[in-house]
Amino acid sequence: MSWRATVLTLFPEMFPGPLGASLPGKALEKGVWLMETLDIREFARNKHRSVDDTPFGGGAGMVMRPDVVDAALGAVADRPGPVIYLSPRGRKLDQPMARDLADGPGVTLLCGRYEGVDQRVIDSRRIVEVSLGDFVLSGGEPAAMAMIDACVRLLPGAMGSEESLDEESFERGLLEYPHYTRPQAWIDHDGVERVVPEVLTSGHHEKVRQWRRAEAERITAERRPDLWSAYVAAGEEDGN
């Protein structure tokens, strides 16, 4: 069966959006994965189709009603995979999480708006909260798109070259090494000649492999000390 992404949103017209183009779009056309959107507003219980109300205790903004959200979730309760609420409070999305989700049958994503979703439905449905990072978006839809994209590209048949996945950032605990292509010598806008590292044109595959690993390690140590510390610790545990 194809991997399925089910998205609950107040703005179904935002989908597939970027997911309908390039790699995820081609994979969607081939049936590698399926997308389903559900308009939360269809489950509103009054003539005004209200999905939110003022927060108890006062404060700015509005909160999405638990009865409306719960009804929407109930309509897709049989969809495969976990239910995830995109929220700044959640665990950060990383490559291992994306791979775990891609290895499963699919995912149901709840996109919040306004001040968020009533906590009672999150607790009642045991929804997992996931965040893209330490920043706030206007709604969960862009985060849902990013999460789906991160998963889809890991699905069998989605990538043109499955081997390229092994060399990407985070796959081995390191950031990716630099890339170069033609022309071999290039004059930049300041008139400086910039030449491709000689080792990459040597034809010596083992030296190229060693250079790429060394560059990946250097960049990770410089830019992401947290990843580098974890990488070093993992190597020490493995006896390397």
Closest residue by Cα to residue 234 from 96, 91, 93: 96
Q: How far apart are CA 172 and CA 208, in angstroms?
A: 17
The answer to the question of whether 137 is labelled as a binding residue is yes
**Residue 19 marked ligand-binding:** no
Structure tokens at 28: 């969607």
Confirm whether residue 11 is marked as ligand binding: no
Query: Which of 49, 42, 67, 62 minimizes the C-alpha distance to 125?
Result: 67
> Could you give phi then psi for residue 33, rounded to 5 degrees?
-145, 165
112 annotated to bind ligand: yes
DSSP 8-state secondary structure symbol assigned to residue 40: G
173 assigned binding-site residue: no
> Is 57 labelled as part of a ligand binding site?
no
- Tokens of residue 62, six digits: 């509005």
199 among annotated binding-site residues: no
* Amino acid, single-letter form, for residue 222: E
Binding-site residues sit at 112, 132-137
Binding-site residues for S-adenosyl-L-methionine sit at 112, 132-137
